[in-house]
Amino acid sequence: MPAAQIKTKIITNRRLKANYWHLEFESGLIARSARPGQFVNIRVNDLLEPLLRRPLSIHGVKGARVKVIYEVLGKGTQALSQRKSGEFLDIIGPLGNGFDYPSAAKSKGKYILVAGGMGVAPLLFLAEKLKTLKPLVLIGARAKELIICTPEFKALGAEIKLATDDGSAGFNGRVTQLLEIELKQTRAAVIFACGPHPMLKAAAQIAASSQLPAQLSLEAHMACGIGACLGCVVSTKDGYKSVCKDGPVFSGQDLIW
Amino acid sequence: MVKKIKPNLSVKIGKLEMKNPVMVASGTFGYAAEFRELMDLKKLGAIVTKTITLKGRQGNLPPRTCETPAGMLNSIGLENPGIDRFIGEKLVFLKKLGVPVIVSIAAENNPEEFITLANKLNGFMEIAAIELNISCPNLQKDKLISQDPRATFALVEAVRRVTEKCLIVKLSPNVSSITEIALSAVQAGADALALINTLGGMCIDVNKQTPKLGAWVGGLSGPAIRPVAVKMVWEVYNKTKVPIIGMGGIIDVSSALEFFLAGAAAISVGTANFVNPRASLEIITGLERYMAEHNLQNLSALTGKLKACKN
């Protein structure tokens, strides 16, 4: 389905907890064609500062509504968090390839979703699509208060395990360490991961050593978001690929770290 | 009631005929197909492709872009599939649009490559013009062709000898005298001048204590460079009668009008394509409205019509 540039009213834009925000807007066009792992590219205001759009993963759709969650990190997300319901946003989407989930598994076993921090954003949307498969969801964060979306995953019937760097919830350590432990006990079929770059690198290595397919959703600074400027490239076995158009989801074995 | 005129937006630059003077700048529009879902490409005055080299190039080490105040740095490094794959894979879509296609070309090592490239493009009727990119800052050269009046003259003259197509020469703002370089290009037979390319720049991540770009340095574009570009267009307009394609930070009709008043015969939208893919189309509509409101029948009544300040 084609991408579109739309101007639409913000339905809600509120803080979830810590620096995490939840944004919802209406667009039947985007909602109908969005697939998990795709993103929208949002112009956060009409000013020249920040100049570029901000790419944010689609967190879910409900009817004609599109949900996004984001972490306020820099001036772009800061400006976005100031926008109020009823105001208009200029949004392009859906963009990117998205997860390849229907045919992801080569063998029988658990679908494992691994999220680091904000990485839960596209994985909840994916978990909805995988609902009947009852995926195992591993969520990692620095501390308990930075873990989000557990009720939503639970509502989908997913099994959830947590990992925190400070041990305040679940496993005391990295979510990728938790993944290694789980793989010893669980027969897995495929790994889907989204999170910070070092986490994805570790997830790719673990998947490779267990001979499991891994689909990783990468984050990148983007200029155009549609594969025109070739600014957001990553190194793959097939040369440079753009995160915005060829990705953001890449097979773990194709990436060169 | 005053009768509103219907302005004529068409413009002719050498052999290049455009229905309106709004083009999209090289490197910011891919090969046009990338934008097809987001706008009506047929409405554009012309499309300038991403720069093509003889052999394919993988481009520079990422990160390749970085946002700056009202602008951005890039160090893409002319990633492109090479001329043969461009003709085989990318030109097919462009040819069907019915919009003049301008192919931007560059040499990697030897200026002779420009001749080979021009020869390969000569056979395609749909290619309305060739743009010589002698000003890309991302090739890790000590000196660009467009930073040397003699090298500029020699290169333009050599390409002029092998092609009848409209020849556009894109100039770098990273020079002490833009008019000197512009005159060299004109004397060597350029049909038009495109100015400006990006300004050299650098950004540093103070936490990591590293440059923000993998290539260390890049080219600055966006509204931040517009005043530099407008001044250079104005300076060159005052020295030569060759049409100028003005660019550098154009984001809306008002910023486009600055360039026309300074002396541009046509304009190119660059970085704004990333911010608002419809910017170029909005500029066409806005320009038509402005001309009607100011009773300007043709673009010639706008180009270079800058007046002195009144006290």
What percent of chain B lies above the pLDDT cut of 90? Answer: 95
- The answer to whether A92 contacts B59, with C-beta atoms less than 8 Å apart, is no
Indicate whether A36 and A117 sit together in one domain: no
Mean pLDDT of A230-241: 97
Mean pLDDT of B7-29: 97
In a domain, B113, yes or no: yes
In a domain, B112, yes or no: yes
B211's enclosing H/E stretch is strand B210-211
Which residues in chain B touch residue A221, judged by CB atoms under 8 angstroms apart? 63, 65-67
pLDDT digits (tens, 9 = 90+) for B242-273: 999 999 999 999 999 999 999 999 999 999 99
In a domain, B209, yes or no: no
Indicate whether A247 and A127 sit together in one domain: yes
- What's the pLDDT at B142? 76
Residue of A nearest to B279 (CA): A5
In a domain, A10, yes or no: yes
In a domain, B178, yes or no: yes
Mean pLDDT of B45-60: 97
Q: Which of A99-103, A189-193, B27-31 has the lowest mean pLDDT?
A: A99-103
What is the nearest CA distance from A110 to chain B, expressed in angstroms?
Answer: 35
Residue B228 φ/ψ, nearest 5 degrees: -65, -45
Residue A111 φ/ψ, nearest 5 degrees: -90, 120
In a domain, B68, yes or no: no
- The answer to whether B58 contacts A239, with C-beta atoms less than 8 Å apart, is yes
Does the structure's ipTM exceed the value 0.85?
A: yes
Indicate whether A166 and A230 sit together in one domain: yes
Mean residue pLDDT across chain B: 96
In a domain, A41, yes or no: yes
pLDDT digits (tens, 9 = 90+) for A55-108: 999 999 999 999 999 999 999 999 999 999 999 999 999 999 999 987 766 678
| Whether pLDDT at B3 is above 70 | no
* Residue labelled with tokens 């904000």: A118
In a domain, A89, yes or no: yes
Indicate whether A127 and A223 sit together in one domain: yes
- The answer to whether A92 contacts B275, with C-beta atoms less than 8 Å apart, is no
- The answer to whether A228 contacts B71, with C-beta atoms less than 8 Å apart, is no
Secondary structure letter of residue B63 according to DSSP: P
Indicate whether A117 and A80 sit together in one domain: no
Mean residue pLDDT across chain A: 95
Indicate whether A151 and A38 sit together in one domain: no
Indicate whether A61 and A141 sit together in one domain: no
Give the count of beta carbons closer than 10 Å to the beta carbon of residue A2: 9
Task: List the CATH number of the domain containing A65.
Answer: 2.40.30.10
Contact A40, A68 (CB under 8 A): yes
In a domain, B26, yes or no: yes
In a domain, A102, yes or no: no
Indicate whether A156 and A229 sit together in one domain: yes
Indicate whether A227 and A126 sit together in one domain: yes
CA dihedral B11, B12, B16, B22 (to 10 degrees): -20
| pLDDT band at residue A1 using 50, 70 and 90 as cut-offs | low
In a domain, B211, yes or no: no
**Which pair of tokens denotes residue B311?**
């006290």
What percent of chain A lies above the pLDDT cut of 90? Answer: 95
Nearest by CB to residue A231, choosing from B37, B65, B277, is B65
In a domain, A104, yes or no: no
Residue of B nearest to A44 (CA): B275
- How many domains does chain B fold into? 1
- The answer to whether A3 contacts B38, with C-beta atoms less than 8 Å apart, is yes
Task: List the CATH number of the domain containing A126.
Answer: 3.40.50.80
- What's the pLDDT at A79? 97
If we measure between CA atoms, which residue out of B263, B280, B262 comes closest to residue B271?
B280
Indicate whether A70 and A137 sit together in one domain: no
Between chain A and chain B, the number of residue pairs with CB atoms below 8 A apart is: 99
Q: Report the catalytic residues of B.
A: 136
CA distances from A245 to A124, A211, A223, B72, B111 (A): 22, 27, 12, 20, 33
Measured CB to CB, residues of chain A less than 8 Å from chain B are: 2-5, 43, 48-53, 90, 92, 221-235, 239-240, 245
Which residues in chain A touch residue B275, judged by CB atoms under 8 angstroms apart? 43, 51-53
| Whether pLDDT at B213 is above 60 | yes
Mutate to test the interface with A, among B34, B75, B90, B282 (most CBs of A within 10 A): B34
- What's the pLDDT at B140? 66
What is the nearest CA distance from B153 to chain A, expressed in angstroms?
Answer: 30
Task: List the CATH number of the domain containing B146.
Answer: 3.20.20.70
- What's the pLDDT at B143? 86
- How many domains does chain A fold into? 2
- What's the pLDDT at A102? 76
Domain encompassing residue A35 = 4-95
Nearest by CB to residue B67, choosing from A51, A227, A229, is A51
Domain boundary among A65, A95, A125: A95
B112's enclosing H/E stretch is helix B112-122
Contact B282, B252 (CB under 8 A): yes
Residues 6+ apart with CB under 8 A from B163: B118, B119, B121, B122, B130
pLDDT digits (tens, 9 = 90+) for A27-42: 999 999 999 999 999 9
Measured CB to CB, residues of chain B less than 8 Å from chain A are: 27-30, 34-35, 37-39, 50, 58-59, 62-67, 69-72, 74, 76, 79, 222-223, 251, 271, 273-278
Residue of A nearest to B64 (CA): A231
In a domain, B308, yes or no: no
- What's the pLDDT at B66? 97
- The answer to whether B278 contacts A5, with C-beta atoms less than 8 Å apart, is yes
- What's the pLDDT at B210? 98
Domain boundary among A95, A120, A136: A95
- What's the pLDDT at B311? 76
- What's the pLDDT at A105? 66
- The answer to whether A232 contacts B29, with C-beta atoms less than 8 Å apart, is no
- What's the pLDDT at B139? 74
pLDDT digits (tens, 9 = 90+) for A121-141: 999 999 999 999 999 999 999
Q: Tell me the pTM.
A: 0.96
Domain boundary among A66, A95, A124: A95
- What's the pLDDT at A24? 98
In a domain, A103, yes or no: no
| Whether pLDDT at B138 is above 80 | no
In a domain, A100, yes or no: no
- The answer to whether B34 contacts A224, with C-beta atoms less than 8 Å apart, is yes
Mean pLDDT of A140-161: 95
Amino acid, res. B66: C
CA distances from A247 to A97, A232, B189, B238, B266 (A): 6, 10, 44, 48, 36
Indicate whether A145 and A244 sit together in one domain: yes
- What's the pLDDT at B150? 96
Indicate whether A161 and A91 sit together in one domain: no
Domain encompassing residue B142 = 11-60+77-199+222-301
